[in-house]
A and B are shown apart, each in its own frame.
Chain A
Amino acid sequence: MIERIPDLVNADENLVRRGRHLSTTFMLGVGDQGYLVKIIEGRIVSITPGPFVTPNYSFALRAPKDEWEMFWEKIPKPGHNDIFALFKRGKLTIEGDLHPFMANLLYIKDVLAAPRKEANR
């Protein structure tokens, strides 16, 4: 799932254009596993799985694995369709420097939802 995000995002020129002013690295937490997602001008250049010694990132989004799996379903069920839906149910934490996150919210949401494009159900 997660390892497919770079190809899915980078192949979508409209999505890359929407994120063209964003260059940052953020932490994606899937259960106990962390991934550093590095973005340069709207392209995902790497996703690096932990463990990390001294991870350096702007903001972090963390949720249990089963929550991300439901989030990545082709048509997610109510309560699972958006990161704020997860947040409101207390399943997602958002922390760090939120400026790049909020200033590029539509882009970040579509990056996170990219695995839905290849979901079987």
Chain B
Amino acid sequence: MSAQFEPITGRYLNMTLLGRPHRLYIEEAGRGIPLLCLHTAGSDGRQYRGLLNDSRITDNYRVIVFDMPWHGKSSPPEGYQNEEYRLTSRDYVQMILEIADALELDKPVVMGCSIGGRIVLYLAHQHAKRFRAIIGLETAAHVAPYYDVNWLHRGDVHGGEVSAGVVSGLVAPTAPDKERWETLWHYLMSGPGVFKGDLYFYKVDGDIRDKIDQIDGRSTPLYLLTGEYDYSCTSEGTLDVAERTGAEATIMKGLGHFPMSEDPPKFISYLLPVLEKIRGASS
């Protein structure tokens, strides 16, 4: 195998985020309509490696992926050792808007998965006009807890191993082993308490059921793509959001909770028609 660079640029951005200095890691590839991608809880931007490497997408879209603070190669803020990380809907929305502003993105498309698929509903509710279109992957308005998240961060259980163990079944059984274990690796190496802190948003603070009916999924087009094997954000949960918002929803066969990472080619076959529609509406 000859050595070859991928067409991805990774850089660190120093900026004030939520009132504190932060050092964020951001990857991007391609040119055209900005497509800002949000990773899942306890993982990082590597989940979007398939999109960043696919010229069918990057010929027309500038794909931008940031690691949230505490995740991947983004650092936690100074003083992290003296606080407990807990993601809230308010901070998460603000983070996305501030990063989009810092990058001077003009009417980007925003696409998020899982917690990212939830927060895009907040964006659709509060800030729809700032976006060209909104794509939710594995979107549901609420997920009831189905295990005690305290297991994710304690001294006598390996946090990475238990996090990977918790999410492993959310990968479709048909996913290629290579991509399944790459997806799990991001969990295996996540920082202590980070997955748990993200789940505070996912399972407690980020319950948006009472606002779903106020979202207009047509004026800023809202697209929802959910894997049939996802038992966290279920197909029923997605279809309910679609019905109440006017969003266009597709249930993806042979995919689970991490579609862009567990089987990139299969996911991209579902994503391309959506991106074509958005591009058609923009031209």
Residues of A that sit less than 8 Å from B by CB: 75-76, 78-79, 81-85, 87-89, 98-99, 102-103, 105-106, 108-109
**Given A102-B151, A105-B166, A109-B168, A84 contacting B173 (CB threshold 8 A):** no
Point out which of B156, B165, B168, B172 has the most chain A C-beta atoms below 10 A from its C-beta.
Answer: B165
Q: Shortest Cβ distance from A69 into chain B, in angstroms?
A: 16
Residue of A nearest to B161 (CB): A106
Which of B161, B173, B228 is the one whose CB lies under 8 Å from A105?
A: B161
Residues of B that sit less than 8 Å from A by CB: 146-147, 151, 156-158, 161-162, 164-166, 168-170, 172-174, 228-229, 231-232, 235
B146 contacts A88, C-beta separation under 8 Å:
yes
A78 contacts B231, C-beta separation under 8 Å:
yes
B165 contacts A102, C-beta separation under 8 Å:
yes
B174 contacts A75, C-beta separation under 8 Å:
yes
B165 contacts A105, C-beta separation under 8 Å:
yes
Q: Shortest Cβ distance from B194 into chain A, in angstroms?
A: 17
**Given A84-B146, A85-B169, A106-B165, A78 contacting B228 (CB threshold 8 A):** yes
Can you list 17 A-B contacts (CB < 8 A)? Answer: A76-B173, A78-B231, A78-B235, A81-B229, A84-B146, A84-B169, A87-B146, A88-B146, A88-B232, A99-B156, A102-B165, A103-B161, A105-B165, A105-B168, A106-B161, A106-B164, A109-B169
Rounded to whole angstroms, the CA-CA distance of A76 and B228 in the bound complex is 12
The A contact surface, by secondary structure, is: helix
Rounded to whole angstroms, the CA-CA distance of A18 and B119 in the bound complex is 36
Rounded to whole angstroms, the CA-CA distance of A81 and B227 in the bound complex is 13
Q: Shortest Cβ distance from B29 into chain A, in angstroms?
A: 32
Q: B residues within 8 A CB of A109?
A: 165, 168-169
Residue of A nearest to B184 (CB): A106
B164 contacts A102, C-beta separation under 8 Å:
no
Q: B residues within 8 A CB of A88?
A: 146, 231-232
A106 contacts B168, C-beta separation under 8 Å:
yes
Rounded to whole angstroms, the CA-CA distance of A81 and B168 in the bound complex is 10
Q: A residues within 8 A CB of B173?
A: 75-76, 81
**Given A87-B146, A99-B157, A82 contacting B170 (CB threshold 8 A):** yes
Residue of B nearest to A106 (CB): B165
Rounded to whole angstroms, the CA-CA distance of A72 and B221 in the bound complex is 41
Rounded to whole angstroms, the CA-CA distance of A40 and B170 in the bound complex is 28
Q: A residues within 8 A CB of B165?
A: 102, 105-106, 108-109
Q: 6 new A-B pairs (CB below 8 Å) besides A84-B169, A89-B231?
A: A76-B173, A85-B169, A99-B157, A102-B151, A102-B157, A105-B166
Q: A residues within 8 A CB of B229?
A: 78, 81
Which of A84, A99, A105 is the one whose CB lies under 8 Å from B231?
A: A84
B146 contacts A105, C-beta separation under 8 Å:
no
Point out which of A83, A89, A105, A108 has the most chain B C-beta atoms below 10 A from its C-beta.
Answer: A105
Rounded to whole angstroms, the CA-CA distance of A79 and B256 in the bound complex is 11
Rounded to whole angstroms, the CA-CA distance of A87 and B162 in the bound complex is 17
Q: A residues within 8 A CB of B158?
A: 103
Q: B residues within 8 A CB of A87?
A: 146-147
Q: B residues within 8 A CB of A85?
A: 169, 231
